[in-house]
Amino acid sequence: MKIAQDAFAALRYRDFSIITLNQLFLTLAILIQEIIVAYSLYQITKDPLTLGLIGLAEAIPYIGLSLWGGYFADRFNKQIIMKICLFFAVPMPIILWWLFHSYGLGQISTHTLAWSIYAVIFGLGTIRGLYSPSATSLKPFLIPKDLYANGATWTTIGWQTGAILGPMLGGFMLAFLGRETSLISVAVLLTICFILVNLLKKRTFPSIETENIRESLKDGFKFILKTKIVLWAISLDLVSVLFGGVIALLPIFAEDILKVGPEGLGYLRAAPAIGALITMMILTKFPPTHHAWRNMLLAVAGFGIFTLVFAFSNYMWLSLFALAMTGACDSISVVIRQTILQIYPPENMRGRVAAVNGMFVSSSNELGAFESGFAAKYMGAVMATVFGGCITMAVVTVSWIKTKDLFSVDINKGNNT
């Protein structure tokens, strides 16, 4: 197994360190806000479907705009796009603060509160649809090609660190500081992100060759469809996250099944990231890109198995362990997929490929939240989780049978298989 000579190699590049720190603070902001909004709204309505509608409200604009976001990322300056998006993101938690404050004063009804929150989340999904392709496709320009795997690992470490601290902070802040103070803190974190992006050095990027927008967008799809390893990497993650994710249902498990309250929800929400972060630190020394496709399939299978363990657990310690292991398995899959998406696409197509990936994979988190909320409403939270775990295992089985030729691919050489 190949051992990385310098685990911190990618971080020695100034702008990559800045963008990794930016991702940490952005993740903190997103997840603190997610905990506050999801738990508060479920506590008010006691309807699992509200949790699904939050995900759907973000997924609709994100899916609709991702391809355009990819086109803009390849056509215009990625860093300027990121600055504009963060500028408009800062006021969003302030609007949420005002909505909850007005509800507390009895000035708006529960129905108005819920649909107003969905509208704000819709706005955040719009921003994310434009921001994500630029942010994702920027990273390969900040470090040399031979550090892409190391960079993907550190990018994920930044995200997972935020994913650990964000939910824990969100749970404790909600319990001890209240919704309104916590939402103000989210606005402060987004402001820090805006400042960090402005610290990046100015740079130019390769531009797309065609001016025809429709043809430009189609090029991204065509590349993915003809590059088997990219297509299957995206498809595998899409289906497993769409059906196997349990994150959206954690407020129900915390409130009604494990009965651990908002503090316990913070721990549950942070557990996958703790498992992922520990795994990521190991992956800085031992990258999973050797026998990459085999490792990815095993990781997704592990994700499904531990989802089933969580579904049947009635003990907090076992639930935390199962969630941590889903995070550990998912982190291996993420590093492999990110490395594939950085190595295979041409430089002037990375934004559009990142957009297609984001449209199907990243949005599957939100669509998966809707699926989970809908299933939980009619099947119950436990059976909805069992269903998702079983679907994930079935998808891995089919993928293993259909992609045996990818087991021999060395992704570090960028073989277009």
The CATH class, in words, for 10-413 is: mainly alpha
pTM more than 0.75: no
Are 363 and 242 a contacting pair, CB within 8 Å? no
Are 269 and 171 a contacting pair, CB within 8 Å? yes
Q: Per residue in 325-336, pLDDT tens?
A: 998 998 888 888
The mean-pLDDT minimum among 27-41, 170-184, 277-291 falls in 277-291
In the predicted structure, residue 284 carries a pLDDT above the cut 80:
no
CA gyration radius for the chain?
A: 20
The three-state (H, E, C) secondary structure of 84-141, written as one string:
HHHHHHCCHHHHHHHHHHHHHCCCCCHHHHHHHHHHHHHHHHHHHHHHHHHHHHHHHH
Compute the distance between CA of residue 383 and CA of residue 386 in angstroms, rounded to an integer.
5
Q: Per residue in 301-359, pLDDT tens?
A: 999 999 999 999 989 999 999 999 998 998 888 888 877 877 777 766 766 776 677 66
Compute the distance between CA of residue 79 and CA of residue 415 in angstroms, rounded to an integer.
30
- Listed ranges 23-37, 62-76, 230-244, 368-382; the one with the highest mean pLDDT: 23-37
pLDDT score of 244: 62
Residue 228 burial by Cβ neighbours in a 10 Å radius (0-12, 13-18, 19+): middle
- Mean pLDDT across the chain: 83
pLDDT score of 403: 86
Residue 136's alpha-carbon distances to 6, 377, 387, in angstroms, are 23, 35, 32
CA atoms within 13 A on the CB side of 68: 10
Q: Per residue in 112-143, pLDDT tens?
A: 999 999 999 999 989 988 898 888 888 878 88
Reported as a pLDDT band with limits 50, 70 and 90, residue 416 is very low
pLDDT score of 173: 87
Q: Give the residue-averaged pLDDT of 190-210.
A: 83
- 326: tokens are 């889903």
Q: What one-letter code names the amino acid at 378?
A: Y
In the predicted structure, residue 211 carries a pLDDT above the cut 60:
no
pLDDT score of 65: 80
- 130: tokens are 């434009």
- 309: tokens are 């363990």
> E strands along 220-320, which residues?
none
pLDDT score of 207: 63
Q: Give the residue-averaged pLDDT of 259-274.
A: 83
Q: What angle do CA 59, 162, 7 make, to 5 degrees?
A: 115
Residue 141 neighbours by CB distance under 10 Å: 16
- 289: tokens are 């890109």
Reported as a pLDDT band with limits 50, 70 and 90, residue 61 is confident
Residue 364's alpha-carbon distances to 62, 179, 236, 262, 359, in angstroms, are 10, 27, 11, 25, 8
Are 200 and 79 a contacting pair, CB within 8 Å? yes
pLDDT score of 1: 40
The mean-pLDDT minimum among 85-89, 142-146, 220-224 falls in 220-224
Q: Mention every residue, 6+ apart, whose C-beta is less than 8 A from residue 220.
A: 67, 70, 349, 352, 353, 355, 356
In angstroms, how far is CA 333 from the centroid of its own chain? 13
pLDDT score of 414: 54
In the predicted structure, residue 417 carries a pLDDT above the cut 60:
no
